[in-house]
Amino acid sequence: MRQLWTMTASDLRQRVRDRSVIIFALVVPLALMFVFNLTSGGAANLTLKPVTVAVSAPAGDDLATAITATLTQVEGIDLTVDEVSADDARSSARSGDAELGVVIPAGFGDAVRAGKEVVVEVTEGEDSGIESDIVLTVVQGVLTQLSAGAVTAAAGAGAGVPDAQLAALAQQAATQAPEITLTQGEAASEQLSSSAALIAGQAGLFLLFTVGFGVLGLVAEREQGTLARLRSMPMRPWLIVTAKGLVSYILGVVATSVLLTLGSMFFDVSFGSPVAVAVLILCAVAAATSLMFIIARVARTAEQASVLQSILALLLGIAGGAFFPLNTTGFLDVVVGLNPIAAFTRGLGITSGGGGLGDIGVPVMLMLGFAVVGLAASRLVPDRGRDL
């Protein structure tokens, strides 16, 4: 054991002195977290600006008045409706005094009731944004509802409904609310916030790079001839491989713990129980390290090992939601669920929702299962270097 700890400590000192470990394990993922948070956080924290709509509606037209009244009742946006003439509505939008100009033509109500074509003119200002799009959607929704009344009246007339009943029928179709209720639900308790998902994804992705600094060092030492020297020393050969594995494991645990801690501080998120999070980190690092043993066996050179590591890290990282969440179903969802990075992120979602050790059994078993399969596979795949 003394030889094992001596080699592990010596290797760790070399890795810490190597600035590339610190860059890949901490600096790059933290920088990406800030960049992605700046780009995605803007959309998440979108604030709607006040918007002014200049509306021209014919006097005494109840359906045109209904459109104007609907605009004044829009919630969630500071909306001002100015009732002006048609020319003023257009010029206000063009000059920037209003974000939107809406012109409802004379005879609008009669045309709708008669089922005739009618055009509502909308002028969008140059400075309009998403607020104007919201207002346009509201206007379109009201027009669609009124069109439904016109279609109903036309269908009633075709079916021989008396004229006295057509107006009431059309009015009912145009104004009666559908028997559909939209209820806002809650996201699953396993779902991370956008900032927390970003931290977890980047930590998982760069974990696959960090652990490579230990195990994949075997390939480099094989090329440099130092592995043969180590094997000539009076100690058991498996101690060399075990020491490299320990280096990977320690680097992975430390880097992932630091990333989650700093990410929580910088982006004001919490991953929940520290004990449960620590268990998830240990399991994720075990799974990632097992993958490096496979790469070390199949790669002939350090360059090949680096390429394989990058490919697998990006594939597993992207599939695990390192950059954006994946919406998968069926068999593909099962495959993605076996990804240790996805299991790690899912586990953090459980702990951030208040879950403890008893709630993270599935992601823990997935990651440990991946580690066992990975280690077993590393002994079965051909050793192309024939020294490991």
Torsion sign (Cα): 189, 194, 195, 196 = positive
Q: 229 pLDDT exceeds 80? A: no
User: DSSP strand E in 230-286: where?
Assistant: none
Q: Is 318 helix (H, G, I), strand (E, B) or coil?
A: helix
Whether the full predicted model's pTM is greater than 0.95, yes or no, is: no
- What are the residues facing 81 on neighbouring strands? 53
Burial class (CB in 10 A: 0-12, 13-18, 19+), 322: buried
Q: 37: pLDDT confidence band, cut at 50, 70 and 90?
A: confident
Tens digits of per-residue pLDDT, 278-334?
Answer: 999 999 999 988 888 888 888 788 788 888 888 888 888 888 777 777 766 677 777
DSSP per-residue string spanning 336-363 = HHT-HHHHHHHHHHHHHTT--GGG-HHH
pLDDT score for 354: 83
Residue 54's identity, in one-letter code, is A
Tens digits of per-residue pLDDT, 154-197?
Answer: 676 677 767 666 666 666 665 555 554 545 444 445 567 778 88
Q: How far is Cα 193 from Cα 344, in angstroms, rounded to an integer?
A: 15
Q: 205: pLDDT confidence band, cut at 50, 70 and 90?
A: confident
Burial class (CB in 10 A: 0-12, 13-18, 19+), 179: exposed
Higher pLDDT, 249 or 3: 249
Q: How far is Cα 47 from Cα 306, in angstroms, rounded to an integer?
A: 44
Q: How many CB atoms lie within 10 A of CB 151?
A: 14
CA 9 to chain centre: 39
Q: Quick one: average pLDDT of 129-150?
A: 78
C-alpha closest to that of 338 among 290, 371, 309: 371
Q: How far is Cα 199 from Cα 180, in angstroms, rounded to an integer?
A: 39
315's tokens: 């594939």
